[in-house]
Chain A
Amino acid sequence: GDSVTQMEGPVTLSEEAFLTINCTYTATGYPSLFWYVQYPGEGLQLLLKATKADDKGSNKGFEATYRKETTSFHLEKGSVQVSDSAVYFCALSDRRTGNQFYFGTGTSLTVIP
């Protein structure tokens, strides 16, 4: 079945460091890929998405490229800020299963000044 695997956390970085959170997926169809973020005390919210191979999603300085050949959707940011401290979830959905999303286990990021 469909699934998502993302790198274990927690991750601690200094402000202005480069961030990469790895995400790989398994899917039998042609999924859409997402990164969701959960800030402390808040609900999950969409960070970015890509709906087909080679698409790049971007938002708030974060980027991720849908790589079909490596079944990956790694999240990157060139210079993290303290306000980026949160839990990041990689997810996929397949149009054949409506709004059933498969989430990774989440990666906790702490950015220290």
Chain B
Amino acid sequence: KAGVTQTPRYLIKTRGQQVTLSCSPISGHRSVSWYQQTPGQGLQFLFEYFSETQRNKGNFPGRFSGRQFSNSRSEMNVSTLELGDSALYLCASSGTSGITGELFFGEGSRLTVL
């Protein structure tokens, strides 16, 4: 069974640009979550999508957005990039509604903003 796949794995952008990251969940999983991982802040929740609807959203500015498609694949977009957006962005999928849900993580997309 294929795991969670994130693309691209590495990317470099400059301030002011925008970026789109992609995540393909485990087959059959309908929940996709995004996290930002930095050395100082650890893992911080960005948002979760379930059946194409945003179910939860963390405390990030509106520059961070996402969407989920009918096949459960998800994208997140960051507009007007800032230096502080440099981080590892992790996608996780889950096959349950979250009551005792386990998250399955991808290896992440490492974004560097210059």
Contacts and interface: CB of A to CB of B under 8 A. Distances in A.
A98 interface: yes
Nearest to B96: A99
Nearest to A99: B98
Contacts of A100: 33, 45, 48, 56, 58, 98
A44 B90 CA distance: 9
Contact of B48 (A44, A99, A102): A99
Contacts of A105: 41-42
Contacts of B104: 45-46
Contacts of B101: 32, 93, 98-99
Nearest to A50: B100
A19 to B, nearest CB: 20
A99 B35 CA distance: 12
A58 to B, nearest CB: 15
Interface stretch (B14-22, B60-68, B75-83, B105-113): B105-113
Interface residues of B, number: 30
B56 A46 contact: no
Interface in B33-58: 33, 35, 41-45, 48, 50, 55-56, 58
A22 interface: no
Interface string A57-85: 00000000000000000000000000000
Max chain B CB contacts within 10 Å: which of A44, A51, A103?
A44
B94 A89 contact: no
Nearest to A38: B105
Interface of A: 32, 34, 36, 42-46, 49, 51, 89, 93, 95, 97-106
Given A44-B92, A49-B102, A106-B43, 8 more contacts: A43-B4, A43-B107, A46-B102, A93-B98, A98-B48, A98-B55, A99-B48, A106-B42
Report, nearest first, the 9 A-B pairs whose CB atoms are least far apart: A105-B42, A103-B43, A98-B98, A99-B98, A44-B105, A43-B105, A43-B107, A100-B56, A95-B99
